[in-house]
Structures are given as C-alpha cells and as structure tokens.
Amino acid sequence: MCENENLSSTAYDDPLADFDRYNEARRWTPLEKGLWRVISLLKSGLALLKMALNFVPDFVARLTVRRDSGPLDSLDSVCSFVSTRSAFVAQKTLYGYVKTRMGTRYPSMFENDVLISSVNIAKMNIFAACLSDLAIYAATRTLRDASPDGAVYRDLALRCFKRGLSDNEEQVLSTNAFSPSEALAAFEQRLAFQDWYGGLPAPELFTASPAALFKWAPIAPELKRQDKEIVENSIRFTWRDVRAQFEKRIDAAGVATDLNSFRLSRN
C-alpha cells in the first residue's frame, strides 16, 4: 500500500506552553494561574472541536449507516441490514482504534491528506471483510431451519455482499488501492468453500473482519504488534450486538418465501 502512512507516537503540542512563557515575564497570583490554565485548556479544546467538526462531514460520514428496528422479513431488509451494519462495524472499530492510538491528536492528524487516504483505503478493505462475514452469517441463520441446497445459501449471501458494495458505490469506486472486483472475487472464492451445514457457532463465522482490521489499520507496525489481541477482540465484541439484533428481528420464513419467489422469477 504505497500511499499508506502509519501513525507514530509524535507528541501533541502542550496547550499550556504560553503560560510558561508568560510566567517568565511576570509574577502570577494563584488565582491568575488557575484562570489562565482554564482559559488555555478551553481554547485548546475549542480548536480541537472545530477541527473535528470540519473533519466529520468530509470523512467519517461516507459509508451508509442507518439504524432501524423493523422486522427482517424480506430479501431487501436482510440485505440492507448486512450493508448498513457492516458499514457501522467497519467504521466504529477502525476509527475507535485510530482515535485510541492518536489521543488528543485525532482531529488534527486528519489535516494530513496522505493519512486520510490511508484511512480510506483501510476503511474500504475492512468494510469488504465485514460484508463477507455478516453476509455468510445472515444466510446461515436465515436459512438454517429450511436447510436448502448450498446454491440457495450462496445466492442470499452474494446478494447481501453486492448490496453493500452498491449502497456505497461512490466510495467503492473512488478509493485508491481498493478493487470491488477483487473483493467480490475473494468473497465468491470463500463461498465456494463454505460449509453451510457444519453447524459452526455464529462467532466462528466472523473470521475475515478481525484479520482485516489488524492488517489495514494505518498504525505503525511496532505499535500494532502490541495491540493484536485487543484490536481483534474489539471487532468480535462489536459483532455480538449485531448478531443479537439480527436474531431478534429475523423472520426466516418471510425471507425464504421472498428468496424462492426471486429465484423462480429468474428461471
């Protein structure tokens, strides 16, 4: 990833540096010292907030994330769930990890165009991995009781994956070092070897996204090596709530009926 720039441990400027310089020129009372520190910290905080607010519309709100609570009783609703929740998990875990490593430098570092490009590349590759995991889980869970042939599982999973790419077409096509055709080919290869009847516990279906988060996060390798278990567990824990939502809302019979109608219409 030639355009990638990793985060280092460069220190952020001390917001109280002016206080030390002024302190050399005059003698401060305790009250003045306290007031100056409060004012300095407020000014620093407002500057960071302004940078963050300028940063959010242009960068964070890119992948489509929508929170709804209706039943998942159709192909469209299941595919939408997979698309939006994959976007949510990818962004939450990537930005959370980057923010933790950057600390107070988080807003200001995104003035760096190379770093922004690196995070966008990471985001899209992690998103594709999230789509892969969640699409396979959704197909496995939805069709579990019906137990159709493998082609039906593959059709549903593939439809969900393609929906995620389509919902975020602008980002998919504009991000350097991310190929939607390669992502789709990798997913189809995974489907070819997927055991739909093995009865794996749900968490064991989520293998691609933890590895992708660790691989693509633009953090210096010497720092990332220390974080591997924590980083991968962070996305595993995030998936637990997503699976609980899916389990609560899924109407498997309704989706199966819709899927059968769709397959018949193509014949």
Q: Do both 25 and 96 map to the same domain? A: no
Q: What is the CA radius of gyration of the chain?
A: 23
Q: What is the C-alpha to C-alpha distance for residues 91 and 88, in angstroms, rounded to an integer?
A: 5
User: pLDDT tens per residue, the chain (267 residues)?
Assistant: 444 455 443 333 443 444 444 444 456 676 766 666 666 555 544 444 444 444 443 444 356 656 677 899 999 999 999 999 999 999 999 999 998 888 877 777 667 888 888 999 999 999 999 999 999 999 999 998 887 888 999 999 999 999 999 999 999 998 888 999 999 999 999 999 999 988 889 999 999 999 999 999 999 999 899 999 999 999 999 999 999 999 999 999 999 888 877 665 665
Q: Do both 41 and 161 map to the same domain? A: no
Residue 194 domain flag: yes
Q: What is the C-alpha to C-alpha distance for residues 173 and 97, in angstroms, rounded to an integer?
A: 25
pLDDT score for 58: 44
Residue 179 domain flag: yes
Residue 6 domain flag: no
Q: Which domain-ending residue is among 61, 82, 102? A: 61
Q: Do both 80 and 38 map to the same domain? A: no
pTM of the model: 0.76
Q: What is the C-alpha to C-alpha distance for residues 241 and 248, in angstroms, rounded to an integer?
A: 11
Q: What is the C-alpha to C-alpha distance for residues 123 and 145, in angstroms, rounded to an integer?
A: 34
Q: Do both 139 and 46 map to the same domain? A: no
Answer yes or no: are the C-beta atoms of 26 and 54 closer than 8 Å: no
pLDDT score for 74: 94
Q: Do both 128 and 233 map to the same domain? A: yes
Q: Do both 136 and 34 map to the same domain? A: no
Helix, strand, coil % (nearest 5) of the chain? Answer: 75, 0, 25
Residue 2 domain flag: no
Domain count within the chain: 2
pLDDT score for 38: 60
Q: Do both 78 and 92 map to the same domain? A: yes
Residue 5 domain flag: no
Q: Is the dihedral of CA 97, 101, 107, 111 positive or negative?
A: negative
pLDDT score for 35: 67
Residue 136 domain flag: yes
pLDDT score for 146: 84
pLDDT score for 260: 77
Range of the domain at 249: 64-266
pLDDT score for 12: 35
Kindly give, in sequence order, each residue whose CB lies less than 8 Å from that of residue 7, ignoring residues fewer than 6 positions away.
98, 101, 102, 109, 115, 218, 219, 220, 223
Q: Do both 21 and 83 map to the same domain? A: no
pLDDT score for 40: 59
pLDDT score for 103: 80
pLDDT score for 51: 45
